[in-house]
Structure 1
Amino acid sequence: MKILSQLRYTIVSCLLGMSCTGNGHHGTDAISTGNPITAEDLNFHMDTLHTGLENPWGITWLPDGRMLVTERKGEILVFEKGHHNGEKLSGFPEVYERGQGGLLDIQVHPHYSENGWIYATYAKPGKEGGSTTLVRFRLSDHQISDMEILYQTMPLSTSGVHFGSRIVFDEAGYLYFSTGERGTKANAQDLTNDMGKIHRLHDDGRVPSDNPFLDNPAAKPSIWSYGHRNVQGMAYDRENRILYATEHGPRGGDELNIIEKGKNYGWPIITYGIDYSGAIISELTEKEGMEQPIHYWTPSIATCGLLYYTGDRYTNWRGNLFSGALALTHVARIELSNGKYRHEEKLLSGIGRVRQVAQDPDGFIWVLTEGPGMLLKLVPAE
């Protein structure tokens, strides 16, 4: 019955034009042989910069060209510019490596050259389980120093699922980080806990005075938005001041949302998915006072990582979103118009579980995959 149900979802979604858009014809043969890859708006080839990664999660760049890549097991690898072998940084604390938990995202401060701060989220172990935690630190050669815990989500949980988490900065320097609801659906609607939320902080961990729930004494003051299941992709459009987020649905119903102050994104009261058992989670797909996604995927592609492209290396892709797909093993290139979903193309179909898509300071797009674990760079064809 499960196979028949999944087949039903696939057929229906293709008929509706969901998750089946784009050319989708670039299989692993074209990729593995290094042949040029033909996309709708340009041709490119793929450089494999590193292989042998286990569960890579986040990627960021220092001003001197060094690249930092996180491994979920608790390692941060530093790649010197022009070198394809990463060296492990020393000094990161123990992580709660259980299920989806471990070391997650990493981002440099927008003014790193002035203050040297690097930010990371990880599952921090405790006596009663683990919790998604935001930290910042500095580097001295390959040694982590000056580490500060800026926010630890509560309560602790022994669950091994739905930790989130991504980090972005907006044009004003505010920091946003996402958390999953840790497998307990009700957490997402409960403002008294940190789970299933997107949080907004100053870069030193202080709560901004204009956060939306400061007047509610029972609410966590760092909450910016709620009603999320498991946000593992966030990207910020600085020009238009739009925060985008992708989150995992259950079986079906992955979402692309525009995140706005104080808004409720509905989980689990409204959803376009069903439970993994086939059970109905909710009969509702919309409700007054709850936000609709600008796009959703049924069946799930398992969205992870999100890039809003601003460079000039791929001129026709400027202003597009790029989402990784864990389950369907591709990169989804998403065209937008005034904040609305317009079109989607599948890139690198069959490449592996895409965990993150990122833009380097030179405007090139990089892709992190697991199973196999690779660090890839997309280079436009001459």
Structure 2
Amino acid sequence: MNPIKIILAILIFLGVSTIAKSCTPKVEDGTPEAPLTEFQFSTETEKMSIKVDTLYSDLQNPWGMTWLGDGKMLITERKGEILIFDKDEFTGQRVQGLPAVYAKGQAGLLDITAHPDYAQNGWIYIAYAKPVPGGGATTIARFKLNGNTATSFEDLIVTTPAWNGGTHYGSRIVFDNQNFLFFTNGERGSQNNAQNLSNSHGKVHRIHDDGRIPTDNPFVNTENAIPSIWTFGNRNPQGMIFDQVNNRLWSVEHGPRGGDELNLIEKGKNYGWPVITYGINYNGTPITDLTEKEGMEQPVKYWVPSIATCGMTLVTSDNYPAWKGNILVAALAGTHIARVEMDGTRATGEEKLLQGIGRVRQVSQSPDGYIYAITEGTGLLIKLLPATGM
């Protein structure tokens, strides 16, 4: 579908006005010539006016994005590509020298993030489904970038057991204030994996930035337990963010039919899947009759019906004063961004932003304090700008 038509449909749906537009033919390989397709519109939200700037419209199945601190931004495509942007424009380049990925269903090249000390060490981290005997394995790896070529590539941790299928691979990567790396891993659609400490699936994990296992991980001395496990009982956590000011780790978990969750992730805790849930099976049958149980955590917020939560970010920027402290959650089935108002660790309100924009896979705040989002279906990279003072 023509991206201009997509945006026009959005404008009609939202009842907002066009600010600027331009479109450019593409060369045979699909790479847009400069200037890129751009489209802007403004819209009113409950607490502020924003402009939405479409920076790119040819994404296929994007998953993650990160910034390198020199104006460059990287976006992953699940099929195994990393697109290189510079100052909000696609350079036409993709990272070369990456390994093959197990690209099946929801598996493939997933999240990406730069090390907090990237300016000093140059490390870039990815989560990807590694092809292994027996299927695929969520894997955390790192590499350096020389021009547009990946160098010094190394796998840091490969989850087990291998899985022949493309369901529930996670995966997000975040660093905390001590540069510990946390990553999520889905339970592969096999519910009981999440409660089994002897496999990696349905868990949040914690490792050092070089792949070593921290000695203070909660199950490091538990017989037969995977030592990288930080929490368990997690169905398919596709979003995660670390609150640096309050030292809090947050995750959103993609539920079944209903039962998406926003969770405060804390050391060693059991988040209940599939013993407790607010969702049901996709065919309408019950999973369990329990929504709570002693020793299992309750979500801070849950969604029924499901919005299909994915990526997330915490608004810390002064660019959005009315949203500061809110958590933004990407909604795939909801085709919007959920703005969740927070009071400490309590969710107190919610607003649906940009309804109909597409299957929002990730929403992120850039180092200079602007909010970006990537979508499937409509294939957009968008930037949200405060309308006042622009």
Q: CA contact under 8 A between 1:232 and 1:304: conserved in structure 2?
A: yes
Q: 1:257 is matched with which residue?
A: 263
Cα deviations by residue, 1:224-243 (Å, 9 ceiling, x for unpaired): 00001100000111111110
Q: CA contact under 8 A between 1:306 and 1:357: conserved in structure 2?
A: yes
Cα deviations by residue, 1:189-226 (Å, 9 ceiling, x for unpaired): 00000000000011000111110012202111100000
Number of equivalenced pairs: 358
- Of the three residues 335, 338, 346, the one matched with 1:340 is 346
Cα deviations by residue, 1:114-161 (Å, 9 ceiling, x for unpaired): 100000000111221101000000000000000110010000111210
- Alignment CA distance shift 1:104-1:27 (3 Å): farther
Q: CA contact under 8 A between 1:80 and 1:86: conserved in structure 2?
A: no
What is the aligned-residue identity percentage? 56
Return the alpha-carbon distance in structure 1 between the equivalents of residues 102 and 91 of structure 2. Answer: 26
Q: 2:378 is matched with which residue?
A: 372
Q: 2:248 is matched with which residue?
A: 242
| 1:321 maps to 2:323 | no
| 1:218 maps to 2:218 | no
Alignment of 1:1-382 (within 5 A): 28-30=13-15, 33=18, 34-382=40-388
Q: 1:21 is matched with which residue?
A: none
Cα deviations by residue, 1:294-341 (Å, 9 ceiling, x for unpaired): 000011000000101111111111111000000010000011001101
Return the alpha-carbon distance in structure 1 between the equivalents of residues 141 and 16 of structure 2. Answer: 37
Paired AA for residue 343 in structure 2: S
Return the alpha-carbon distance in structure 2 between the equivalents of residues 277 and 170 of structure 1. Answer: 39
Q: CA contact under 8 A between 2:171 and 2:184: conserved in structure 1?
A: yes
Q: CA contact under 8 A between 1:56 and 1:355: conserved in structure 2?
A: yes
Question: Where in structure 1 are there 5+ consecutive unaligned residues?
Answer: 1-24
Q: CA contact under 8 A between 1:229 and 1:249: conserved in structure 2?
A: yes
Return the alpha-carbon distance in structure 2 between the equivalents of residues 297 and 26 of structure 1. Answer: 27
- Alignment CA distance shift 1:145-1:229 (3 Å): same
Q: CA contact under 8 A between 2:375 and 2:381: conserved in structure 1?
A: yes
Return the alpha-carbon distance in structure 2 between the equivalents of residues 347 and 358 of structure 1. Answer: 14
Deviates more, 1:307-316 or 1:287-296: 307-316
Q: CA contact under 8 A between 2:73 and 2:88: conserved in structure 1?
A: no
Return the alpha-carbon distance in structure 2 between the equivalents of residues 101 and 191 of structure 1. Answer: 22
Q: 1:19 is matched with which residue?
A: none
For the residue of structure 1 that corresponds to 2:89, the secondary structure is coil
- Alignment CA distance shift 1:82-1:250 (3 Å): closer
Paired AA for residue 153 in structure 1: T
Deviates more, 1:78-87 or 1:210-219: 78-87
Q: CA contact under 8 A between 2:67 and 2:367: conserved in structure 1?
A: yes
**Structure 1 position 35, deviation (Å):** 3.7
Paired AA for residue 231 in structure 1: P
Return the alpha-carbon distance in structure 1 between the equivalents of residues 370 and 75 of structure 2. Answer: 16
**Structure 1 position 30, deviation (Å):** 3.9
For the residue of structure 1 that corresponds to 2:74, the secondary structure is strand
For the residue of structure 1 that corresponds to 2:63, the secondary structure is strand
Paired AA for residue 53 in structure 1: L
Q: CA contact under 8 A between 2:252 and 2:261: conserved in structure 1?
A: yes
Question: Where in structure 2 are there 5+ consecutive unaligned residues?
Answer: 1-9, 19-39
Return the alpha-carbon distance in structure 2 between the equivalents of residues 182 and 300 of structure 1. Answer: 19
**Structure 1 position 362, deviation (Å):** 1.0
For the residue of structure 2 that corresponds to 1:281, the secondary structure is coil
For the residue of structure 1 that corresponds to 2:194, the secondary structure is helix
Return the alpha-carbon distance in structure 2 between the equivalents of residues 48 and 86 of structure 1. Answer: 17
**Structure 1 position 84, deviation (Å):** 3.7
- Alignment CA distance shift 1:84-1:140 (3 Å): closer
Paired AA for residue 150 in structure 2: I
TM-score by length of 1: 0.92
TM-score by length of 2: 0.90
